[in-house]
A and B are shown apart, each in its own frame.
Chain A
């Protein structure tokens, strides 16, 4: 491992470190909810390690508690994760030429927070080499994902001993906003974000969380079209 690779990993870990504040309560909450639904500690921890997708895990457990058929549980939770296919596609121009085993590991760690961080970095530093980009990616991932496992476990063991109302429910929302805001750097980006918000709220009634997918597609197209239009004018 070269010094440069090591410094990229370190940079990723440092950039991702504020997430610790958010990952702790969010992960513990999942541990509590899963054990209260009847999951054993081993099952709760297994789910966080195997699935590693908070929103989908909460959704699946809620549906299982409501006695939904297993196929509906799976389809709904997978639909919640469908946005990750967009992340996967969006990473191809940046790291699509990395060795296959690295892409295979990267795919496992492709959660919202990791994607949000690396997308901002790659956009700001397109000149970085593929090695630098992958090093940064894993630096971010190793600082975000293990907390999810550890504090899921602690939440499962501690159970209802955690005070529920401390405003920390909203830490996840703040983290997403903090990731988005610095990327609103052109009219095209603002237009895309605006369309995304309006359609996601307007289509919240669409089943299987597909409103978000429609909103995201429309927003991406809006961004590209506004950008093309702006370039055409100058």
Chain B
């Protein structure tokens, strides 16, 4: 049983720490003080962080005990392909989810 005090300490400290991480550069650095190279590197932040964040979820999904799962791999591949093709977040998301749900239903039925 976790004590109430411990829970509140974690909530408050984690909240403050997370906020400071988020505020760090945005709050303290002026854009004109960033070198062009740093700005160029930072433009790649979305494609540098999010793929690494999602890769383990796709390769080792917790729902299948961390084993690669053909249904989830297929849904991920469709979302990626449709997203590149249509350049649309919404179509990529909708088609990925549609494939996921359809294949899971087939799997559950057969």
Binding site for B on A (CB under 8 A): 15, 18, 21, 37-40, 43, 46-47, 50-53, 56-57, 60, 64-65, 70, 73-74, 77-78, 81-93, 95-97, 100, 103-104, 106-108, 110, 112, 115-117, 119-120, 123, 165-167, 169-185, 188-189, 192-197, 199-201, 204, 212, 215-217, 219-224, 227-228
Contact = CB atoms under 8 A, between A and B. Distances in A.
A178 B100 CA distance: 14
A40 to B, nearest CB: 8
Contacts of B90: 18, 178
A192 B47 contact: yes
Nearest to B82: A181
A196 B10 contact: no
A47 B9 CA distance: 11
B interface: dominant SS: helix
> How many of chain B's residues touch chain A, expressed as a range?
35 or more
Given A18-B93, A78-B18, A107-B26, 13 more contacts: A43-B7, A47-B10, A52-B18, A64-B10, A86-B49, A87-B45, A107-B22, A170-B72, A177-B96, A192-B48, A197-B52, A200-B56, A201-B56
B110 interface: no
Nearest to B76: A177
Contacts of A70: 6, 9-10
Contact of B47 (A73, A89, A189): A189
A201 B49 CA distance: 13
A142 to B, nearest CB: 17
B21 A81 contact: yes
A229 B27 CA distance: 33
A200 B52 contact: yes
Nearest to B45: A90
A38 B55 contact: no
Contact of A108 (B19, B56, B79, B80): B19
6 contacts: A64-B6, A86-B48, A87-B22, A93-B34, A96-B31, A182-B87
Contact of A216 (B11, B52, B87): B52
Contacts of B18: 51-53, 56, 78, 81, 84
Interface in B53-98: 53-59, 61-63, 71-72, 75-76, 79-84, 86-90, 92-94, 96-97
B26 A120 contact: no
A166 to B, nearest CB: 8
A181 B88 CA distance: 8
B27 A104 contact: yes
Given A170-B100, A224-B44, A196 B49 contact: yes
Given A116-B46, A176-B50, A97 B31 contact: yes
Nearest to A71: B13
Given A38-B2, A43-B11, A220 B44 contact: yes
Nearest to A215: B52
B63 A216 contact: no
Contacts of A219: 44, 47-49, 51-52
Given A64-B2, A181-B92, A93 B39 contact: yes
Contacts of A223: 41, 43-44, 47-48
